[in-house]
Amino acid sequence: MHEIFINFRTKGGKEIAYMCQQALADRFGPDSIFLAGGSIGVGSDFTQAIPQAVRRSRVLLVIVDEHWLDAPDPKRPGRRALVDPQDWVRREIEEAFDSGVLVVPVLAARKLEQLNPHLLPKTIAQLAVCQYARVQLRTFATDLVSLGDRLVQQVPGLAALDRQEPTQSGGEPDEHTSVHNKRQSGGIGHVGGSVGTFVGESHSPMHTGSGDMVNNNHENGDGTTYYTGDNGTVRQRFGPHTRPTHGKGER
């Protein structure tokens, strides 16, 4: 069963229609998408196959390009194609409304405005008040993901076929992870991804790698504590410091 039927006009909307078919087929499976020409068996009566496919679908996407509304009737120059009751674009939309199929106008241009019901045949004037989606060539991939997500929420049958993996929250950051440090000084932190360890500000010697690091010791006052070596010696001193009279003192 074809869950999504793609309605388009050959001149103007064909490229977007085929791009939508490919993207949606990748997500929901090729058998879930109907696109006239590739979805009708050879030798089949397309005048019967097309209306049947519309009725059996759950969603009809109407690809509306900039010239969709005023596309000329190839049989009668000077007349709009939509005026012809036998126009296939119009007939498919009428069939979808009559069958209770979810109809979604897909505006395939950035500046294209929502359809005006007064400029449509009365039988499909309802199309103008159907909530639309918008796709553009420049942002096509993300636009189709968004459209697919919205359809999954509204059509349970599509949710069962969805191959799109849900976005994982709290997962490992990708290689483009960025860090923003505003009005912060001092401290050492670790950020996942390619950022690694970052240091806001250091006020003393530090070592972020492996191996030994030796720095001169400096001690002041009673109660001074210092540490030496890997396993090291910790010493704490109270009272006045007395230098040894011979030999080398241990620091």
Q: SS3 sequence, 6-75?
A: EECCHHHHHHHHHHHHHHHHHHHCHHHEECCCCCCCCCCCHHHHHHHHHHHCCEEEEEECCCCCCCECCC
Q: CA–CA separation, 7 vs 60, rounded Å?
A: 7
**In contact, 140 and 134? CB cutoff 8 Å:** no
The predicted-structure confidence for 48-75, as pLDDT tens digits, reads as follows 999 999 999 999 999 999 999 999 998 8
4-160 adopts what CATH topology? Rossmann fold (3.40.50)
Selected residue with higher pLDDT from 95 and 207:
95
Token pair in block for residue 12: 């103007």
pLDDT, the chain, mean: 77
Please give the average per-residue pLDDT across 153-170, as a whole number.
Answer: 79
Q: Which of 208, 177, 214 is nearest to 193 (CA)?
A: 177
Q: CA–CA separation, 53 vs 37, rounded Å?
A: 12
Q: Which of 16, 44, 7 is nearest to 139 (CA)?
A: 16
Q: Which of 47, 24, 39, 59 is nearest to 146 (CA)?
A: 24
Token pair in block for residue 29: 């499976």
**In contact, 120 and 71? CB cutoff 8 Å:** no
What burial class does residue 129 get, using C-beta atoms within 10 Å of its C-beta: 0-12 exposed, 13-18 middle, 19+ buried?
exposed
At residue 12, the pLDDT reads 81
**In contact, 143 and 106? CB cutoff 8 Å:** no
Query: pLDDT band for position 80 (50/70/90)?
Result: very high
**In contact, 106 and 99? CB cutoff 8 Å:** no
Q: CA–CA separation, 72 vs 92, rounded Å?
A: 18
Q: Mutual orientation of helices 10-28 and 140-154 as an angle, nearest 10°?
A: 60
- 52: number of CA atoms within 13 Å, CB side? 9
**In contact, 208 and 197? CB cutoff 8 Å:** yes
At residue 169, the pLDDT reads 44
Domain residue ranges of the chain, discontinuous segments joined by +:
4-160
Per-range mean pLDDT, top range of 32-41, 183-192, 217-226, 227-236: 32-41
